[in-house]
Structure 1
Amino acid sequence: MAHYEWLLFDLDGTLSDPAEGFINSMNHALEFHDFTPRPASELTLHIGPPLEQTMAHLIGSSDEKLIRAMVDKYRERYGESGYAENTLYPGITEMLEKLSRNDSIRLAVCTSKRADFATRILKQFNLHHYFEFVSGGDVGIAKWQQLEKLLAERRITSRTLMIGDRHFDLSAAHKNKLHAAGVLWGYGSRLELQEHKPTYLFERPGQIDETFT
Structure 2
Amino acid sequence: MADYEWLLFDLDGTLSDPAEGFINSMNHALEFHEFAPRPARELTPHIGPPLEDSMAHLSGSSNQVLIRSMVDKYRERYGETGYAENALYPGITEMLEHLSRNDSIRLGVCTSKRADFASRILKQFNLHHYFEFVSGGDVGITKGQQLAQLLAESRISTQALMVGDRHFDLSAAHTNGLHAAGVLWGYGSRQELEAHKPAYLFSDPSEISAQF
TM-score if structure 1 supplies the norm length? Answer: 0.99
Distance 2:22 2:85 in 1: 8
Mapping for residues 28-177 of structure 1, pairs under 5 Å? 28-177=28-177
CA offset digits 1:120-165 (Å, max 9, x no partner): 0000000000000000000000000000000000000000000000
**Structure 2 residue aligned with 1:178:** 178
**Structure 2 residue aligned with 1:3:** 3
Shift of 1:3: 0.3
CA offset digits 1:178-200 (Å, max 9, x no partner): 00000000000000000000000
Amino acid at match of 1:196: H
Distance 1:37 1:142 in 2: 27
Distance 1:154 1:181 in 2: 22
Mapping for residues 181-200 of structure 1, pairs under 5 Å? 181-200=181-200
Question: Following superposition, which runs of at least 4 residues in structure 1 exceed 4 angstroms of deviation?
Answer: none
SS of structure 2 residue aligned to 1:103: coil
Percent of aligned pairs with the same amino acid:
81
Amino acid at match of 1:200: Y
**Structure 1 residue aligned with 2:203:** 203
Amino acid at match of 1:134: V
SS of structure 2 residue aligned to 1:45: helix
Shift of 1:17: 0.1
Corresponding residue pairs, total: 212
Distance 2:162 2:45 in 1: 21
Structure 1: stretches of 5+ with no match in the other structure: none
Amino acid at match of 2:33: H
Structure 2: stretches of 5+ with no match in the other structure: none
TM-score if structure 2 supplies the norm length? Answer: 1.00
Distance 1:158 1:99 in 2: 19
Distance 1:184 1:78 in 2: 25
SS of structure 1 residue aligned to 2:149: helix
**Structure 1 residue aligned with 2:23:** 23
Shift of 1:98: 0.3
Amino acid at match of 1:116: D
SS of structure 2 residue aligned to 1:163: strand
Shift of 1:209: 1.1
